[in-house]
Structure 1
Amino acid sequence: MTIQQHNTEEYDDPTLYDKENNLYTEDIPFLQKYASKAKGTILDIACGTGRATIPLAKSGHKIVGVDSHKGMLNEATKKANKLDLPIDWIQQDCTKLDLNFKTDFVFSVGNSFQHFLKNEDQDRLLSSVNRHLLQGGIFIFDTRFPSVEELLQPETEEFWHTYIDSETQYKVDVSTIAKYDALNQLQYYTTIRKYKDETNHIVNEVRTNVTLRYVYPKEMERLLANHGFEVLQIYQDWQENPITNNSYSMNYVCKKVSESYNDDSILSIVK
């Protein structure tokens, strides 16, 4: 994925990322349903350490994972090799994909869409996806719903959850600090992890920062249409419940119906 250099802290420790995210599997059955209809190679964009890529490969699907973060791809490769899974892992900027195949199924999950912070980044991502999709091909992705509760969080430390670190057996209390920039639709997150021993004393504290872009439903509708996609469904979760004003997520199922406009050409004309 395209992540600005200052925006990679949350992913610079792939092992930690897996500890905190590998148990999430709610999207896998949904993706499996569409993967079963795919006729060729499936493309996972912003694949990270392969959380969603590997289960689909285990089901027998031919799949390629693309990400810009070398460390995440190295971890994905290790995991796939242990399972003897023939997955191609490719390090590329997802806004400038240059692969030697087209597919009828592309997906990008884990709210990766939010890492494309500028309008130009979003344009180039969707144009890139369009170029690698066959006519009528399916593109599935998710992004957080810009609800009032999500955006207007207090700019103070808020407890999130606790887990046990599998290596040290320390209890890890995770909290966040969020600040929303309404003009740019950017949420600045600081994640704080406090490692506590058996006596509940803090033995280590790690802070990471990430910036996320929020997109409103009507804004997304126009954005996708401009890039040759028809929105087939919008769900609030992977159980296919319809989106509401109280949703936390927007899960899109789109179909390529036309070619995307060439945003690079448009930019050159504007200049």
Structure 2
Amino acid sequence: MSEQFYSDARLYDRLFPGGAQAVDFYRAEADRQGGYVLELGCGTGHKLIPIASDGHPCMGLELSPDMLAEAERKAGERGVELAWVQGDMREFDLGRTFDLVIIAGNSLLHLHEADDLVSCFRAVRRHLAPGARLVFDVFNPSVRMLAQADGVRRRRDALSFVDPDRGVVHVDVAETYDAAAQVTRGRWYFSTESEADFAVAPLEIRSIFPQELPLLLSLGGLRVVECWGDWSRAPFTADAPLQLYVCESGQTEDRSSDWLKK
């Protein structure tokens, strides 16, 4: 499980401080769609707070209470008002519909079972207003990179960051790939020159291949409107870094995903 990875929200924000292109993309999608925005797996509000600051009414749903508390703190610091809800994206009932639902930053990949993904898509469909859309991003799996997940602990220099209290923090990662489950199981190690492994956290992330997503979405009662391969909205290709989907409600909710249940 990955809960421990998200238990220190400020450490998480320092580890992943960037994403300006992703923020701009989702802000543009909110402007294009208009209306009330819901983000599932909103984390610390990295995408949602800027969208709310543009004047869109917003709600964020997040499973981790630590991440949610940091999102509330950051929104208050910026003087931005929006609603925050602790909940599970696999099954939720917020009592209203939305004009845009987003699932950003690979948050969808914390759902490891196909049935959980379909359950999430069904819940999204029930919350879509007429004409509303779901927009989400997940990485495009690289078979070569997955094959290199051999369990060896390695330094990730690109992930090093500066902590105001600890100084430079180095990040090591050891990962293995479970091909049957399509899940990468890793342990992340955080160290400084004077304090080795001051934090160690597991992280398990599913890979969703491009051939799967249209089927899973269809089983959840959604249909694909657009699919892009990067933040510039370039067409999706086999070597694209991302899978960026825009979806809307299908005519009916397909119940045939019962076969996916274990």
Same fold (TM over 0.5): yes
Give the counterpart of 2:228 among 230, 235, 238.
235
Post-superposition CA distance 1:144-187 (Å, at most 9, x none): 21211231124212222253423125222212111111111111
Give the counterpart of 1:220 among 209, 213, 234.
213
Q: Which amino acid aligns with 1:178?
A: E
Aligned ranges 1:93-242 → 2 under 5 Å: 93-155=88-150, 156-160=152-156, 161-168=158-165, 170-196=167-193, 201-242=194-235
Q: Which amino acid aligns with 1:175?
A: D
Counterparts of 2:230 and 2:34, CA distance in 1? 26
Give the counterpart of 2:59 among 57, 61, 64.
64
- What residue is the counterpart of 2:250 in the other structure? 257
In percent, how many aligned pairs have the same letter? 27
- What residue is the counterpart of 2:73 in the other structure? 78
TM-score normalised to the size of structure 1? 0.88
Given the superposition, is the C-alpha separation of residues 162 and 94 from structure 1 closer, same or farther in structure 2, using an over 3 Å criterion? closer
Q: Which runs of 5+ in 1 are unaligned?
A: 1-5
Deviation at 1:202, TM superposition (A): 4.7
TM-score normalised to the size of structure 2? 0.91
Counterparts of 2:34 and 2:241, CA distance in 1? 32
Given the superposition, is the C-alpha separation of residues 204 and 183 from structure 1 closer, same or farther in structure 2, using an over 3 Å criterion? closer
Aligned positions, number: 259
Counterparts of 1:146 and 1:79, CA distance in 2? 32
Q: Which runs of 4+ in 1 moved over 4 A?
A: 201-204
Alpha carbons 1:106, 1:138 under 8 Å: kept: yes
Pick which of 48-57 and 131-140 moved more. Answer: 131-140
Post-superposition CA distance 1:90-110 (Å, at most 9, x none): 011111111121112100101
Alpha carbons 1:180, 1:186 under 8 Å: kept: yes
Deviation at 1:38, TM superposition (A): 3.1
Alpha carbons 1:147, 1:247 under 8 Å: kept: no
SS at match of 1:23: coil
